[in-house]
Structure 1
């Protein structure tokens, strides 16, 4: 197939190149959703530290003052980024199998964390830094839906809240652990050297050194399932259906 002809008019010497905005950033009114989507793009690409109000304005293609109409400061932007990601987490409150649904939610949360690894610190810390009543509805929706799911299964409100806290406490720790860098020397073939565990005295850390091959073969998906097996088995053993749930 012949190459299309070159448009010489658009390449004339002395002409200024057309400034192209990021995909989806068209002329017209700027919305809060568009601002937060651009913020998430920056975080995904360059990390939280790279996000600034000026850079966000450039990404949207507007004067910074336009951005401030939608998000008053950087803290609000960071909260909004967490909101955008968590809004994608869905809970089926009608599922009759609460354990299967919580497992599905956990898998979905991990998927979102892996899709936005540089936003994970925001997912874990930003909601906790804001009083419940001041958090956005998107951030609170998973909590409300899980409470609905569990109370329909027979848990009291307090019991359901306990389960929610146990589940997300586990999930936060899991995704942070999975995403952290554990390999010191990737080119090494010996697991002790790859992980830097050779520095540990054999007499003081024999088991940790012995587990080097297991640590090096870390499988995030498998670890999530093992953790959920332990967590959900314990919760089921103390659920209303077992008649043994005790609030401590």
Structure 2
């Protein structure tokens, strides 16, 4: 080597991002978004992070804790402001935001809908309970009694999750088919037993999730407003 020549510096690998609960959960959510809930295991998550799976137990005790953390992370994206606007406008906005959230993370929706069924209310992750607390506050401030506010919440979220699950279903059997009965697979239904459903094929084929949600929310809010006592005054 000539005396003036300098050795080329050796390239050093970029340091790994410091492991944290936030990194573990965001990576877990990305894995679920890409491959579904069944793909989320400690081993697979460790591979995604380039870490020993055993190191992840510092941030989640088990897979169930990972699922709870993913639920909290997704619901953290839902903004609820009990003190802003009138209660009907706020519930309508939350409904649209929750639908958008579900469309961004469709693989997480079954987790949000079914996982709470296996966990007592007081043992659920705090992040999954905050929407309940905030919506109860919104409704009580609007003049509903605490018990009525709970009834409203149950009807409201029951409708929302039902709509979201319905929208995420596969409606189209053959997207290349022009005839709506064939495209939706409704031609398989006996015509004499399902005349109304078959007749609705054109409406089913042009399903608009946002418009359908808004129509249902309007029906729900109109009924709920009728339950509110005329002399009820919003809390300051």
TM-score normalised by structure 1 residue count: 0.85
C-alpha spacing 1:88/1:211, structure 2 compared with 1 (3 Å):
same
Does 2:17 match 1:27?
A: yes
| Structure 2 equivalent of residue 187 of structure 1 | 176
CA distance in 1, matches of 2:142, 2:52: 51
Does 2:175 match 1:196?
A: no
Q: Name stretches of at least 5 consecutive residues in structure 2 with no aligned partner.
A: 1-7
| Structure 1 equivalent of residue 147 of structure 2 | 158
Q: Name stretches of at least 5 consecutive residues in structure 1 with no aligned partner.
A: 1-8, 244-248
Aligned pairs (5 A) from 1:27-66 = 27-28=17-18, 30-66=19-55
| Structure 2 equivalent of residue 103 of structure 1 | 92
| Structure 2 equivalent of residue 226 of structure 1 | 215
Q: Matched residue of 2:137: which SS?
A: helix
Query: Which of these residues, 111, 121, 144, is aligned with residue 122 of structure 1?
Result: 111
Cα deviations across residues 133-172 of structure 1 (Å, max 9, x unaligned)?
Answer: 1112211111101111111111111111111111100011
| Structure 1 equivalent of residue 56 of structure 2 | 67
User: Residue 57 of structure 1 contacts residue 64 of structure 1 at CA under 8 Å; is this kept in 2?
Assistant: yes
| Structure 1 equivalent of residue 121 of structure 2 | 132
C-alpha spacing 1:42/1:194, structure 2 compared with 1 (3 Å):
same
TM-score normalised by structure 2 residue count: 0.89
Cα drift, residue 80 of structure 1: 1.3
Q: Matched residue of 2:175: which SS?
A: coil
Structure with higher RCO (Cα < 8 A, 6+ apart): 2
Runs of 4+ in 1 over 4 A off after TM superposition: none
Query: Which of these residues, 181, 196, 207, is aligned with residue 207 of structure 1?
Result: 196
CA-based RMSD:
2.1
Cα drift, residue 58 of structure 1: 1.5
Q: Matched residue of 1:126: which SS?
A: helix
CA distance in 2, matches of 1:145, 1:204: 46
CA distance in 2, matches of 1:180, 1:224: 15
| Structure 1 equivalent of residue 166 of structure 2 | 177
Cα drift, residue 182 of structure 1: 1.2
Number of residue pairs the alignment of both structures matches: 225
CA distance in 2, matches of 1:112, 1:177: 15
Cα drift, residue 129 of structure 1: 2.3
CA distance in 2, matches of 1:210, 1:201: 12
Cα drift, residue 96 of structure 1: 4.3
Cα deviations across residues 20-79 of structure 1 (Å, max 9, x unaligned)?
Answer: 8xxxx9433x22121111100000011111111111111222111111111111111111
CA distance in 2, matches of 1:135, 1:32: 18
Cα drift, residue 242 of structure 1: 6.8
